[in-house]
Amino acid sequence: MSDINGSIPYKEAFQARYGGTLTPKYDTQSDLFATLDTDLKNAVAALKSTPSVPQKLYGNNDQFFKGDPTKWIKVGNAARLRIAMRMTKVDINRVKTIVTDVLSNPADQMSSVSDSWVFVTPGNSFGGGGNWSPVGMRAPKPTLDFMVAKADPRLRLFYSKKSPGPIRRQLYQPR
């Protein structure tokens, strides 16, 4: 959301119900990424620690990894690297800190297809076989406009042409 909109309400958002404000302040993208990185780092640390009291296991109710915390640790670290990637032109020192921290333990990094964060549903259901089907979806306009304007050769790899739209331009849908 912040990639498209820049600053967004986050820390104060949705707090009115709990006595907070109806007009939350907007967090800058830099502040938001710092908050998300801290939250992810803390979540990974919590997953790696031994709890002081027995915990309820999600088991098969965890639709992604069937309750395997090591897989969630890898997802958290992958998300941290993605955040770092978005900050390369803004705060290279913070990027180096995140990357060094995440890469310091290879066991906590995605290393095979089985580590992929994919929602697989059983049987023939709405998401049967993997992530939700892109049929009927359209490409995000800012992304498409940018790729078309730059004659990006990846356009045909990411999107396929659909029928002409009402304004006589080709619509694209995810592949």
Cα–Cα distance, 68 to 116 (Å, whole number):
13
What pLDDT does residue 168 have?
35
Cα–Cα distance, 36 to 84 (Å, whole number):
11
Degrees, nearest 5: CA angle 44-45-47: 65
Does 55 score more than 90 pLDDT? no
φ/ψ region of 129 (left if φ > 0, alpha if ψ in -120 to 50, else beta) reads left
Domain 2-133 has CATH 2.60.40.1730: no
What pLDDT does residue 23 have?
93
Q: What is the mean pLDDT of the chain?
A: 83
Amino acid (1-letter code) at residue 66: K
- With 0-12 / 13-18 / 19 or more C-beta atoms within 10 angstroms meaning exposed / middle / buried, residue 32 is buried
Does 166 score more than 50 pLDDT? no
- Residue 162's contacts (CB-CB under 8 Å, 6 or more residues apart) are 138, 170, 171, 172, 173
Does 57 score more than 50 pLDDT? yes
- Residue 157's contacts (CB-CB under 8 Å, 6 or more residues apart) are 175
3-state secondary structure of 53: coil
Does 156 score more than 50 pLDDT? yes
Cα–Cα distance, 40 to 33 (Å, whole number):
10
Does 126 score more than 70 pLDDT? no
Q: How confident is the model at residue 140 (pLDDT cuts 50, 70, 90)?
A: confident
- Report CA Rg, the chain: 20
Reported pTM: 0.68
Which of 93-97, 130-134, 142-146 shows the lowest per-residue confidence on average (mean pLDDT)? Answer: 130-134
Does 170 score more than 50 pLDDT? no
What pLDDT does residue 130 have?
52
- Domain segments of the chain as ranges: 2-133, 134-175
Amino acid (1-letter code) at residue 85: M
Q: What percent of the chain has pLDDT over 90?
A: 43
Q: How confident is the model at residue 167 (pLDDT cuts 50, 70, 90)?
A: very low
More confident residue, 58 or 8: 8
Could you read off the pLDDT of 70-120 as tens digits, one per residue?
A: 999 999 999 999 999 999 988 999 999 999 999 999 999 999 988 888 766
More confident residue, 129 or 102: 102
Q: Which residues of 45-70 are buried (b: 16+ CB within 10 A; e: fewer)?
A: eebeeeeeeeeeeeeeeeeebeebbe
